[in-house]
Structure 1
Amino acid sequence: MTSEEKDADIMLDPQFIQESGEVYRNPTEVQMSQIVLPCHANHCGELSVGQLLKWMDSTACLSAERHAGCSCVTASVDDIHFEHTIGVGQVVNIIAKVNRAFTSSMEVGILVTCEDLYTDRQWKVCRAFATFVSRRTEAGKVQLKQVIPRTQMEQVEYSLAAERRRMRLIHAEIITDLLSSSTAQLGECQEYDDAVPAEKTRVESVELVLPPHANHQVSTFGGQIMAWMENVATIAARYAFLFLQELDL
């Protein structure tokens, strides 16, 4: 077994046999598998990160709604580090499950692995934690039922979810303070030689929301918005790269 395969196995909960003899499965768990087609690829022939984000968001949303019993929306997604690219013809496997529920929000853990059908190899691509908020119903604000961790890994994630939530709140306060202080220092920007002017990388995109952009709630969802953001960011980064190449010439 390669180190990549071991890495993927570490993230998966071992089978838990209940007293009834049945294999336990987390009731909020949702699994999705997608084969990467050319229409999902970017200009490099690899799976577009935006497309992957859409799949991740859709899978996590279904997990959140399975637990909440009502429609949910994406509130935030923690930093994601993609460890590997995914090529056309490979299979993307996504597992999402609710780690912990709070009052009206919950943390959903997402694991993405890649599979090569011809070599039977699997490896971890990324792991992410998304926060979903339940929508109000006709009866008013939803009070989420608590998650009961059953396995050792679920207990670990349950405990860590509270700490991650605390860190998210602290991070939001820090960003607010930084934005406030940077606004007051706009006239003190330092100039650097061979720097890329910000205006050279500026990219704007206007998207008309069409039915293909909607989810099962018939509205534009977080994954689609992240896909649009990733596309614009990729173009901006490309502009910066081309500008630096011109400077070298």
Structure 2
Amino acid sequence: MTSKGKCADAALDLLFIEEGDDGYRNPTELKMSQIVLPCHANHCGELSVGQLLKWMDSTACLSAERHAGCSCVTASVDDIHFEHTIGVGKVVNIIAKVNRAFTSSMEVGILVDCEDLYTDRQWKVCHAFATFVARRTEAGKVQLKQVLPRTQAEQMEYSLAAERRRMRLIHAEIMNDLLSSSTEFQGAVPAERTRVESVELVLPPHANHQVSTFGGQIMAWMENVATIAARCVRSVFKT
């Protein structure tokens, strides 16, 4: 990691530390702690990324709903870079809070760290920014109340959230252009040879508190399929 990246991560970590001596705490902030059990592990004996995404999405959704005062759905999640794996028996701490609200959408910052209860060690795993949209109510489209940053750190995240939103819109346009092009790459593995399909029946364990499948569960299914597809690529190159 570059020194610039380390500074950015350090700045992000500070955003989740309570500031000031007046006892102020961001009203949208939520924390979830989970101990990693064998049922949460993948075939390597480590916490499944899909399971972690489910926990992150659930925590962020509750933070968004606390601010919106109504049910919310996941619209998107920015790129996530996992710095460490998490073993069975470790504790995962997830903190989420709303950085900025727009018309009916809002950005939620998520920070994940891991804790070893026996050695009292704690280390960062990843951070992410998710966009949630407030569901329509019987009265019509929801108009979100604005976030009022009180600390210097909150003010910085409030300002950066607008720039990140602008970049997301640009990124979406670029991806649409790439997908519409028919460029072929020499030496590439035919996509059909890595194709993996999964059909899932939505059961009660797959639902959230809104009694519907949620973004985190869908991301968990996607992660499983992507893992199998990646293994297919490796097996193709071996043959």
**TM-score of the superposed pair, with normalisation by structure 1:** 0.88
Residue 144 of structure 1: how far off its partner (Å) = 0.5
SS in 2 for 1:17: coil
Supply the distance in 1 between the matched residues of 2:209 and 2:157 (Cα, whole angstroms). Answer: 28
1:178-198 Cα deviation digits (max 9, x unpaired):
222x1xx36xx2432xx5332
- Contact in 1 for aligned 2:16/2:95 (Cα 8 Å): no
Tell whether 2:206 aligns with 1:213.
Answer: yes
Supply the distance in 2 between the matched residues of 1:82 and 1:154 (Cα, whole angstroms). Answer: 24
- Contact in 1 for aligned 2:74/2:132 (Cα 8 Å): yes
Match of 1:105 in 2: 105
Supply the distance in 2 between the matched residues of 1:90 and 1:206 (Cα, whole angstroms). Answer: 32
For residues 62-73 of structure 1, what are the structure 2 equivalents within 5 Å? 62-73=62-73
Match of 2:58 in 1: 58
Supply the distance in 2 between the matched residues of 1:49 and 1:88 (Cα, whole angstroms). Answer: 13
Match of 1:191 in 2: 186
Match of 1:15 in 2: 19
SS in 2 for 1:24: coil
Q: Which amino acid aligns with 1:83?
A: E
- Contact in 2 for aligned 1:112/1:127 (Cα 8 Å): yes
Tell whether 2:236 aligns with 1:232.
Answer: no
- Contact in 2 for aligned 1:13/1:153 (Cα 8 Å): no
Q: Which amino acid aligns with 2:28?
A: T
Distance 1:34 1:65, change over 3 A: same
Match of 1:30 in 2: 30
Match of 1:142 in 2: 142
1:193-222 Cα deviation digits (max 9, x unpaired):
xx5332221100000001110000000000
Q: Which amino acid aligns with 2:89?
A: G
Q: Which amino acid aligns with 2:116?
A: D
- Contact in 2 for aligned 1:46/1:85 (Cα 8 Å): yes
Supply the distance in 2 between the matched residues of 1:143 and 1:133 (Cα, whole angstroms). Answer: 11
Residue 92 of structure 1: how far off its partner (Å) = 0.3
- What value does the CA root-mean-square deviation take over the aligned residues? 1.7
Supply the distance in 1 between the matched residues of 2:42 and 2:48 (Cα, whole angstroms). Answer: 5
Rg larger in structure:
1
Residue 10 of structure 1: how far off its partner (Å) = 4.2
Q: Which amino acid aligns with 1:235?
A: I
Residue 150 of structure 1: how far off its partner (Å) = 1.1
SS in 1 for 2:26: coil
Supply the distance in 1 between the matched residues of 2:205 and 2:33 (Cα, whole angstroms). Answer: 20
Supply the distance in 2 between the matched residues of 1:196 and 1:190 (Cα, whole angstroms). Answer: 9
Supply the distance in 1 between the matched residues of 2:127 and 2:185 (Cα, whole angstroms). Answer: 37
Supply the distance in 1 between the matched residues of 2:214 and 2:25 (Cα, whole angstroms). Answer: 27
Q: Which 5+ residue runs of structure 1 have no aligned equivalent?
A: none
- Contact in 1 for aligned 2:57/2:215 (Cα 8 Å): yes
Supply the distance in 1 between the matched residues of 2:238 and 2:108 (Cα, whole angstroms). Answer: 42
Q: Which amino acid aligns with 2:224?
A: N
Match of 2:3 in 1: none
Q: Which 5+ residue runs of structure 2 have no aligned equivalent?
A: 1-5
For residues 78-89 of structure 1, what are the structure 2 equivalents within 5 Å? 78-89=78-89
Identity of aligned residues (%): 83
1:32-89 Cα deviation digits (max 9, x unpaired):
0000000000000000000000000000000000000000000000000001000000
